[in-house]
A = this chain, B = another copy of it.
Amino acid sequence: MAEKIYRVNMTDLTSSIEDVPAAWAAHGGRGLTSTIVAAEVIPTCHPLGPNNKLVLAPGLLSGTVAANSGRLSIGAKSPLTGTIKESNAGGTAAQLFARTGVKAMIIEGQPKEDKWYSIAITPDEITITEETELIGRGNFATIEAVEARSEEKRAILTIGPAGEMRMASANVSVKDPDGGLRSNGRGGLGAVMGSKKIKFITVDPKGGKVEIANPDGFREANKTFAKALVDHPVSQALGQYGTNVLVNIVNESGGLPTKNFTLGQFDGHDAISGETMADTITQRGGKIKHNCHPGCVIQCSQVYNDADGNKLTSGFEYESIWAMGADCCVDNLDHIAEADRIMDDIGVDTIETSVAMAVAMEAGVLEFGDGAGVCRILKEEVGKGTSLGRIIGNGTGSVGKAFGMTRVPVVKNQAIPAYDPRAIKGIGITYATSTQGADHTMGYTIATNILNVGGKLDPLTKEGQVELSRNLQIATAAIDSTGMCLFIAFAALDDEKCLPALIDLINARFDLSLTGDDVVNLGKHILKTEREFNMKAGFTSIDDRLPEFFYTEPLPPHNVVFDFSDEEINTFWDF
């Protein structure tokens, strides 16, 4: 199956299947989306205008049987941050894209008429069809209806009402193997898809197999690789408690942002912890373990049922639970799960929207701790696009501006996630310097600052944090290009066989002889490509800063501030 570029022009509703330019051939996933966005998108364009492009790319190993290789990268200029953006998620799309021979899909232009469309991808064809029935529908109803239209088990990517309304926190959602959703959540990529008037995209399952240059080498490397993943203690904890294993751990560290980033610990942490969640799931007959894409050996997802034993939500992540829980002071896991489901259905990023809700609470829109109020606002305001709904649906920075607030936890207008940068300083460097706004996944220093993976580095001291974040951001950019889930990083940092096995997988797939240095250079190249785009869009090192209050308001219980000088932060880019 030769790989091709699938290009769709929504201005004139045409499409083409093109050869892969030589400069793009070695790239996949984030490396490819960022390369294409940097090459084809005018950095100063309006993110919701016809000059922006939405680029979808499976990773280098997606579509193979390599463990955990099912992440799909989506890139564009972000309507939330104004920077280049890549967000990746599981689900079934990456693997079907790869098997269909789609190296990348580029969606450009914008319909002039007020009509909506769907796009269907098969190995030979791109079909653009006007859509009317599903406009305005939530993601779950949309997926159900699209599934009912065909007996094939197609991959489905959708936007909810938030994406249709071009809200800056809107997701692109991807169906998981069981009809649940995974979200390309950060940075408002769903609004870009909405601006191009595309309600959903399907990918046909009739694609062939991904060619493997050296099948025996591939099989051997995958065995080693999968074993390293399965054996790592963090993988095991993730399988048992999900990512939400972190609530108690981060709370203990004093870095769990609580009550809109005014405290580092949450009194209600036990009630929303991974341990409580696992017990509740077991009692109610949900699933402790669940995979977000076929081939995952960690299975950190889960199915969370309501008190009556009916499925309430799945893919119930630590960052979502932290944001709606500790940051909003909601200590009721059922309210949080309901909010999570509503956000999935509307199609908004759970981090962006929940952090926005906490700022709205500080502004007096509702009381801290009012979980039922949160659900009502999500459903009746955000989902329906009322004025308050638009304020919240456009993210944390939007709420801060609307109500004239100063405690607004964003970097490059993207909400800061679940680790306070005052008490966990390494992650603060990642938030500040990331090419994409505040994002823990860009350089997850929590591994070494908190989990003692890849060594230990005291989260409260400054020393070594810039280097730690730099090394992790470089490695992450490379990993995000493979289609691998970021959770392979724990094993990669601790098990000396893991990373060589991953490189062997790539070499066996493409008949290459990459070394570890090549991977590091790939990561560096991606970061620099992204940063260069941002510079052309008007960003400078002055945008690589945390909000003022992190420098001036000490965070209990450690009573620490973020105390890196501008010069210290700027050394991040010395590579």
Residues on A lying within 8 angstroms of B by beta carbon are 44-46, 48-49, 51, 79, 165-168, 191, 194-195, 386-388, 390-391, 394, 398, 401-406, 536-540, 542-543, 545, 547-549
Contact = CB atoms under 8 A, between A and B. Distances in A.
Contact of A402 (B46, B79, B390, B538): B390
A401 B188 CA distance: 12
B390 A166 contact: no
A165 B364 CA distance: 12
10 contacts: A48-B405, A79-B404, A168-B401, A195-B404, A387-B388, A387-B402, A391-B391, A394-B401, A538-B540, A540-B540
A36 to B, nearest CB: 20
Given A48-B404, A194-B404, A390-B391, 4 more contacts: A46-B406, A165-B404, A191-B404, A391-B402
A398 B404 contact: no
Contacts of A48: 404-406
Given A44-B545, A46-B548, A543-B538, A398 B387 contact: no
Contacts of A79: 404
Contacts of A536: 542
Given A388-B387, A404-B191, A542-B536, A548 B45 contact: yes
A123 to B, nearest CB: 34
A186 B457 CA distance: 49
A107 to B, nearest CB: 17
A406 B49 contact: yes
A467 B85 CA distance: 39
A386 B548 CA distance: 28
B401 A46 contact: no
Top 7 closest pairs, chain A to chain B, by CB: A166-B404, A538-B542, A387-B387, A387-B388, A390-B402, A49-B406, A46-B406
Contacts of A404: 48, 79, 165-168, 191, 194-195
Contact of A387 (B44, B167, B391): B391
A191 B402 CA distance: 12
A324 B166 CA distance: 27
A388 B390 CA distance: 9
A394 B390 CA distance: 14
A540 B543 CA distance: 12
A15 B538 CA distance: 40
A360 to B, nearest CB: 10
A545 to B, nearest CB: 7
Q: A44, A165, A406 — which one has the most chain B CB atoms within 10 A of its CB?
A: A406
Contacts of A398: 401-402
Contacts of A548: 44-46, 49, 51
B391 A542 contact: no
B390 A403 contact: yes
A406 B110 CA distance: 12
A574 to B, nearest CB: 20
A364 to B, nearest CB: 10
Contacts of A543: 538
A501 to B, nearest CB: 43
B387 A394 contact: no
Contacts of A391: 387, 390-391, 402
A46 B546 CA distance: 11
Contacts of A401: 168, 394, 398
A561 to B, nearest CB: 15
Contacts of A545: 44
Given A386-B387, A542-B538, A547 B402 contact: no
Contacts of A195: 404, 406
Nearest to A51: B548
Contacts of A394: 401-402
Contacts of A44: 542, 545, 548
Contacts of A194: 404
A166 B403 CA distance: 7
Nearest to A363: B390
A386 B391 CA distance: 11
A554 to B, nearest CB: 15
Q: A386, A387, A398, A537 — which one has the most chain B CB atoms within 10 A of its CB?
A: A387
A167 B405 CA distance: 10
Nearest to A404: B166
Nearest to A543: B538
A41 to B, nearest CB: 12
A50 B157 CA distance: 46
Nearest to A49: B406
Q: A51, A191, A391, A536 — which one has the most chain B CB atoms within 10 A of its CB?
A: A391
A132 to B, nearest CB: 19
Given A387-B387, A388-B387, A46 B547 contact: yes
Contacts of A388: 387
A466 B532 CA distance: 29
Contacts of A538: 539-540, 542-543
